[in-house]
Chain A
Amino acid sequence: KAGVTQTPRYLIKTRGQQVTLSCSPISGHRSVSWYQQTPGQGLQFLFEYFSETQRNKGNFPGRFSGRQFSNSRSEMNVSTLELGDSALYLCASSQDRATYEQYFGPGTRLTVT
């Protein structure tokens, strides 16, 4: 079974721009979660989608948004980029409930200059 894939793997953007990151979950997995990883804050939960609906959201500003498509693929968007948005963005998929472990993709490294 193919793992979680994320595209692109690396991205460089300028302050003020917007960016869209993509995540394809493991086949059959319906839940997709996004996390931001930075040296200072560690791993922080952004949001989780299940069946195209956002089920849970972390404590991030409204510039961070996401969506999920009918095939469970997910995208996250960050508008008006700030230097502090530079991070590794990780996507994870799971079958459904919290009892199931989450499988992580390799991440997208976003650098904002």
Chain B
Amino acid sequence: AQSVTQLGSHVSVSEGALVLLRCNYSSSVPPYLFWYVQYPNQGLQLLLKYTSAATLVKGINGFEAEFKKSETSFHLTKPSAHMSDAAEYFCAVSPNSGYSTLTFGKGTMLLVSP
């Protein structure tokens, strides 16, 4: 069975600082990996995805993530945080074949202070 662990339920950064949100996965074979963002009272918006192409994936709003098979990690980064980045971020894993089922991590709330 696949699983996802997100380290830190809350991460606080100052505006302009580096954002690093951690995600580790457990899977018998390399899966597909996704990062989603959720703003209050809204659904989930896809930030980026890894589907076995380039290991460094660039997404929307300046976010990127690097797939590291040896570390079973897919951490999300952004060089400079904006106030508008404050939201909850979810890492998710999907099997690389078969059905469209996402297994989500518990989420990390990103707090950005001025």
Query: Interface residues, chain A, CB within 8 Å of chain B?
Result: 4, 31, 33, 35, 42-45, 48, 50, 55-56, 90, 92, 94, 96-107
Contacts and interface: CB of A to CB of B under 8 A. Distances in A.
Scoring B36, B41, B100 by chain A CB atoms within 10 A of each residue's CB, the highest score goes to B100
A35 B94 CA distance: 14
Interface of B: 32, 34, 36, 41-46, 49, 51, 90, 92, 94-107
A52 to B, nearest CB: 15
Contacts of A96: 100
A106 B43 CA distance: 4
Contacts, number: 66
A-B pairs with the 4 shortest C-beta distances?
A104-B43, A43-B104, A104-B44, A56-B99
Nearest to A100: B100
Given A35-B104, A42-B106, A104-B44, 13 more contacts: A4-B43, A33-B102, A43-B92, A56-B99, A90-B44, A92-B102, A98-B101, A99-B51, A99-B96, A101-B34, A103-B46, A104-B43, A106-B43
Contacts of B97: 97-98
A98 B100 contact: yes
Given A99-B51, A103-B46, A48 B99 contact: yes
B102 A45 contact: yes
Contacts of B51: 99
B98 A98 contact: yes
